[in-house]
């Protein structure tokens, strides 16, 4: 995020950094592979900004489309799609409920299919099209599933709701919404602790039976 990157490095914290890595960067022949003159790098190390340089090595480029917009990012390989959406792109509609793929709060669409974004590393998403809850409506015109969730009160606290709605849309697209029983089964990866399940089923049935494009 712009704010965070613009923030000056904390000097006190930089002083306690691992000296071995600093030395590595000073000596590394890898430096010749980057468009940096050794003199600049050594000066950088002396100025205690070597961690930032190291961070460049540790990051990988990621180009993905999110809600129709191309994002060119530089991410750590260990960063999940969920954390990239929430922390780097400020798309906080996608929620973290367990970080273990057990609750569904982080459900997004990748190339039209629902996935748990907490179980997906960002670097796996190169060239993919991501849709989050923020990208579901058509401008001010809510998606029929969003309308149905409001009408049937398919939530209380609202925290699992984005994941439920993304899952619900996929559930119909997959052809898994042909009966109340089937909807319940295919929506069971999305936990709602407030207990809105019957209302969620009603909302999905209304959209399905209404034959609206999802």
Partner 1 sequence: MKTAINKTMPSSAEGMSRVDGRLKVTGAAKYSAEYTPKGLTYGVLAGSTITKGNIIAIDTKAAERAPGVLAVITHLNAPKVPGDQPEKGKAADAKGALKVFYDDKIYYNGQPVAIVVADTFERALFAASLVKAQYKTEKHITSLPDNRDKGFPPRGEGTYKRGTEDAWKLAPFKVEQEYIVPTVTHNPMELHAIIANWDTDNKLTVWDKTQGVKDTQGDLAHLFKLPKENVQVHSQFVGGAFGSALRTWPHEVAAILAAKVVKRPVKVVLSRADMFTSVGYRPFTWQKIGIGATADGKLTGITHEAAGQTSSYENFTEGPTGVSQSLYACPNVNTKYHLVALDIATPTWMRGPGEATGAFALESALDELSYQLKLDPVELRLRNYAQTDPGSGKPFSSKFLNEAYQLGSDHIGWKDRKQEPGTVKQNGWYVGYGMGGGMFGAYRAGATIRAKFNADGTLLLQSAVSDIGPGTGTAMVLIAAEQLGIPAEKIRFELGDSSLPNAPTQGGSATTASVGSAVYKACADLKEKFQKLAGNGATNNPDYTKILKDSGLPSLEVVSETDGGNGMQKYAMNSWSVHFVKVLVNAATGVVKIDKVACVSDCGKVISPKTARSQVIGGAIGGLGMALMEESIIDHRYGRYINNNFADYHVPVNADIPQIDALFVNKPDPIINPMGAKGMAEIALIGMAAAVANAVYNASGKRVRDLPITPDKVMA
Footprint of partner 1 on 36-65 (CB under 8 A): 51, 54-55, 58
153 binds partner 1 (CB under 8 A): yes
Task: Check residue 157 and report its DSSP letter.
Answer: S
| Interacting span for partner 1 (CB under 8 A) from 28-36, 38-46, 75-83, 123-131 | 75-83
201 binds partner 1 (CB under 8 A): yes
Residue 30's CB is within 10 A of a number of other CB atoms, namely 12
138 binds partner 1 (CB under 8 A): no
Residue 177's CB is within 10 A of a number of other CB atoms, namely 23
- What residues contact residue 128 under an 8 Å CB cut-off, 6+ apart? 64, 65, 110, 111
86 binds partner 1 (CB under 8 A): yes
210 binds partner 1 (CB under 8 A): no
| Interacting span for partner 1 (CB under 8 A) from 23-31, 36-44, 97-105, 123-131 | 97-105
The nearer residue to partner 1, 37 or 56, going by C-beta atoms, is 56
Helical spans, DSSP H, in 47-143: 50-58, 81-83
69 binds partner 1 (CB under 8 A): no
> Could you give the C-alpha distances from 49 to 9, 33, 97, in angstroms and in order?
8, 19, 35
């Amino acid at each position: 995020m712009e704010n965070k990157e613009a923030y000056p490095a904390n000097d006190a914290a930089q002083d306690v950094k691992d000296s071995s890595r600093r030395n590595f960067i000073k000596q590394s022949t890898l430096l010749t592979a980057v468009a940096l003159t050794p003199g600049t790098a050594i000066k950088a190390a002396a100025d205690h900004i070597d961690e930032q340089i190291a961070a460049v090595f540790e990051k990988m480029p990621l180009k993905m489309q999110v809600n129709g917009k191309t994002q060119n990012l530089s991410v750590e390989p260990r960063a999940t799609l969920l954390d990239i959406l929430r922390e780097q792109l400020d798309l906080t509609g996608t929620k973290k409920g367990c970080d273990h793929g057990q609750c569904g709060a982080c459900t997004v669409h990748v190339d039209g299919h629902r996935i748990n974004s907490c179980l997906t590393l960002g670097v796996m998403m190169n060239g993919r099209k991501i849709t989050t809850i923020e990208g579901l409506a058509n401008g001010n015109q809510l998606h029929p599933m969003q309308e149905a969730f409001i009408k049937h009160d398919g939530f209380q606290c609202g925290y699992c709701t984005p994941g439920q709605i993304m899952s619900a849309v996929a559930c119909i697209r997959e052809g898994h919404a042909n009966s109340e029983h089937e909807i319940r089964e295919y929506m069971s990866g999305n936990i709602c602790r407030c207990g809105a399940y019957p209302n969620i089923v009603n909302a999905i049935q209304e959209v399905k039976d209404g034959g609206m494009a999802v």
